[in-house]
């Protein structure tokens, strides 16, 4: 018990004997600055490009017209034959038309140059 008290007193003396110039370093040089830098890095490399892609996709979907060739999220290729507020009718084969949600459109196929 006496040895334990001596060790605790010794630790207190070591802490009190540290030189006055070696402090914590301040508020911004602590863990806040690196965490902020990591957040900014994630924002500019992940979040911002994702938002830009989403805006471009929404703009493309809003400009769809009859006759445009599209690809759905499920990988189905077809031609737009009808558009309502939330539903797009896509012809995938002769006399085969499916209805998909606007959110199910993944991309617009580029038009072929030889097409009329």
The pLDDT, as a whole number, for residue 5 is 53
Higher pLDDT, 10 or 51: 51
Mean model confidence pLDDT for the chain:
82
Confidence of residue 68 (pLDDT cuts 50, 70, 90): very high
Burial class (CB in 10 A: 0-12, 13-18, 19+), 25: exposed
* pTM of structure: 0.61
- Across 71-104, b (16+ Cβ under 10 Å) vs e yields ebeeeeebebeeeeeeebbbeeeeeeeeebeeeb
Confidence of residue 31 (pLDDT cuts 50, 70, 90): confident
CATH code for the part of the protein at 28-108: 2.30.30
Confidence of residue 111 (pLDDT cuts 50, 70, 90): confident
């Amino acid at each position: 018990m006496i040895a334990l008290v001596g060790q605790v007193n010794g630790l207190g003396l070591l802490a009190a004997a540290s030189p006055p110039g070696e402090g914590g370093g301040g508020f911004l040089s602590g863990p806040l600055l690196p965490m902020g830098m990591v957040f900014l890095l994630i924002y500019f490399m992940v979040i911002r490009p994702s938002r830009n892609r989403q805006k471009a996709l929404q703009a493309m979907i809003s400009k769809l017209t009859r006759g445009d060739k599209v690809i759905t999220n499920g990988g189905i290729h077809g031609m737009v034959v009808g558009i309502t507020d939330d539903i797009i009718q896509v012809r995938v084969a002769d006399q085969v038309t499916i209805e998909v949600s606007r959110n199910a459109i993944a991309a617009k196929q580029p038009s072929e140059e030889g097409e009329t």
